[in-house]
C-alpha cells in the first residue's frame, strides 16, 4: 500500500471517528426527555353529553358527595372582578370614591356628605342614595386643609404655601385671606369665622373673629407664646369659639381646659381626667363628647360625655369606656354616636397618636339613652377610619380609609 493511500484512509477514519464521538457527546449532554404520550380510551363517544338523569347538575352549579349516598347542589363559584378592582371582604362596606379623599362632613341638610377629592381638585356631594355629584366644576389643587360651612357650601381652603382662600360654591365668590391666618372654623350660621392670626412676633398673635369672607376682623384674645395650645372650635348653639388646654394640673394626672367666648364671656373651665383634650360637640351643642388619655385608661385615649351648655358645662360626666379618639366619632342627633374604635392599642398610645393612625377600627354604636355601646361591624372589618359622618336617617356611616384615602359607606340598616 502506497504512502498516499495510507494518508487517505487515515483521514477518512479520523473524520468518521470524530462524527461518532461528537454524536456520543451530544447524547450524553442533551438526553431526550420527550416521551410518547399515552393514548387513553375515550369515556364517551366523541361529541356526546351525559344522559339526563335524576341527579343532573343544573348549568352554573357543581356537585359534591355528602357521604349519604346523594349529591347536593352547591352555588357556582363567584366571578372574580377584573384586574384593578378590589375584592371587598365586608359586604356592608361600599366604595364611594377610589380617589384620595379628605374633609368629609355632613351635607348642609344632614343627608349624605361632602368631601374633597385631591386627585381632580373638585368637591363632591354624596346623596342619600349613595350616588355622588360634583358640587361645581371649579378645581382647587393641592389643598392642605378644608373648613366647611355648616348650613351652606361656603369653604375656607388652606394651601401648603400659606395661601388661604374663601370660596362660596353657591355664589362663586372667591376672596384671598391673609396668609398669616390659620385654623379656621365657621359659626353655626356660617356668617362669621373664627381663626388664629399668627404674626412673627408673639405679641402680634391673636384669636380673631371676622365675617366669613374675612372682612371686619377683630381680635378677641391674645395668644402670645401659647398659640399652639389654642384651638378655634365654634360650638353649635352657643358663644364658645375656642378652647385652650392650659389650665392648672388636676389630681391623678387630670388637666383643666379653658373656653373662649365670642364676646369674651366668662365661661367655666372644664376639669378632665387626663391629657390631650379633644372635643366633639353634639349637633345642638347640648353635649360634648371628648377624649383624653391618662392613668385611668392605661395611657390609651378614652371617650367621655359631659354637658356642653355654658351654664352647666362639664356636668353629668360619664365614661363611655371605649378606647378611641373623639374625632373618630360622628353624632346622629343628640343621643346616638357612631365611632371607629381601634381593634388594638398598647399602653400609652395616647402619647404618640401618629404611630397608631393606621390601626384597623371596629365600628361601635353608642346609645346615650340606654347607655349601651355595641360593636356593629362583621369580623372582616379591617379599615382604619377617619372623617366619620352618619346619614340623617342613620342608614349609612361614611368614612375615609386613612391608608388609601378611599371613601366608603357602611350600611347601618
**268-308: pLDDT as tens digits:** 899 999 999 999 999 999 999 999 999 989 999 999 999 99
pLDDT tens sequence across 322-341: 999 999 999 999 999 999 99
pLDDT of residue 129: 75
pLDDT of residue 47: 34
Cell numbers for 177: 385671606
pLDDT of residue 1: 54
DSSP letters along 57-83, please? Answer: PPTT-EEEE-SSSSEEEEPPPPPPPPT
pLDDT of residue 62: 33
Nearest partner of 328 among 389, 271, 275, 277, judged by Cα: 389
Widest distance between CA atoms in the chain: 135
pLDDT of residue 91: 74
Q: Which residues have a Cβ under 8 Å from the Cβ of 274 and sit 6 or more positions away?
A: 253, 254, 255, 292, 293, 294, 296, 297, 302, 350
pLDDT of residue 57: 35
Distance CA 396, CA 413 (A): 8
Residue 139 main-chain phi, psi, to 5 deg: -120, 140
pLDDT of residue 89: 60
Distance CA 215, CA 213 (A): 6
With a threshold of 0.85, does the pTM exceed it?
no
Residues of the chain with pLDDT under 50: 5-6, 8-10, 15, 25-85, 87
Amino acid at each position: 500500500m502506497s504512502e498516499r493511500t495510507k494518508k487517505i484512509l487515515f483521514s477518512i477514519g479520523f473524520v468518521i471517528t470524530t462524527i461518532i464521538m461528537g454524536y456520543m457527546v451530544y447524547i450524553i449532554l442533551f438526553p431526550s426527555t420527550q416521551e410518547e404520550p399515552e393514548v387513553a380510551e375515550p369515556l364517551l363517544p366523541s361529541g356526546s353529553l351525559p344522559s339526563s338523569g335524576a341527579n343532573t347538575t343544573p348549568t352554573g352549579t357543581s356537585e359534591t358527595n355528602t357521604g349519604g349516598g346523594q349529591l347536593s347542589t352547591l352555588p357556582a363559584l363567584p366571578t372574580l372582578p377584573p384586574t384593578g378592582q378590589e375584592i371587598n371582604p365586608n359586604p356592608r362596606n361600599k366604595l364611594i370614591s377610589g380617589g384620595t379623599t379628605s374633609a368629609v362632613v355632613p351635607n348642609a341638610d344632614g343627608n349624605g356628605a361632602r368631601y374633597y377629592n385631591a386627585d381632580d381638585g373638585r368637591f363632591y356631594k354624596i346623596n342619600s342614595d349613595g350616588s355622588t355629584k360634583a358640587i361645581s366644576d371649579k378645581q382647587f389643587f393641592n389643598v392642605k386643609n378644608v373648613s366647611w360651612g355648616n348650613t351652606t357650601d361656603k369653604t375656607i381652603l388652606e394651601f401648603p404655601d400659606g395661601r388661604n382662600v374663601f370660596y362660596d360654591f353657591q355664589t362663586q365668590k372667591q376672596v384671598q385671606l391673609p396668609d398669616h391666618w390659620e385654623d379656621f372654623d365657621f359659626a353655626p350660621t356660617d356668617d362669621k369665622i373664627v381663626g388664629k392670626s399668627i404674626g412673627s412676633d408673639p405679641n402680634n398673635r391673636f384669636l380673631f373673629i371676622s365675617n366669613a369672607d374675612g372682612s371686619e376682623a377683630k381680635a378677641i384674645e391674645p395668644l402670645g407664646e401659647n398659640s399652639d395650645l389654642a384651638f378655634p372650635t365654634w360650638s353649635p348653639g352657643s358663644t364658645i369659639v375656642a378652647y385652650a388646654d392650659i389650665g392648672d394640673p388636676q389630681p391623678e394626672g387630670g388637666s383643666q381646659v379653658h373656653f373662649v367666648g365670642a364676646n369674651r364671656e366668662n365661661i367655666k373651665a372644664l376639669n378632665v381626667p387626663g391629657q390631650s383634650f379633644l372635643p366633639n360637640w353634639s349637633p345642638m351643642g347640648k353635649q360634648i363628647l371628648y377624649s383624653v388619655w391618662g392613668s385611668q385608661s392605661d395611657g390609651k385615649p378614652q371617650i367621655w360625655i359631659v354637658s356642653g351648655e355654658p351654664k352647666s358645662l362639664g356636668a353629668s360626666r360619664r365614661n363611655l369606656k371605649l378606647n378611641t379618639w373623639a374625632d373618630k366619632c360622628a353624632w346622629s342627633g343628640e343621643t346616638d354616636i357612631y365611632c371607629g374604635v381601634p381593634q388594638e392599642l398598647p399602653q400609652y398610645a395616647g402619647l404618640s397618636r401618629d404611630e397608631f393612625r393606621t390601626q384597623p377600627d371596629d365600628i361601635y354604636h353608642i346609645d346615650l339613652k340606654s347607655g349601651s355601646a355595641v360593636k356593629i361591624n362583621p369580623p372582616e372589618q379591617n379599615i382604619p377610619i377617619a372623617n366619620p359622618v352618619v346619614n340623617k336617617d342613620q342608614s349609612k356611616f361614611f368614612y375615609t380609609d386613612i391608608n388609601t384615602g378611599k371613601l366608603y359607606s357602611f350600611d347601618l340598616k
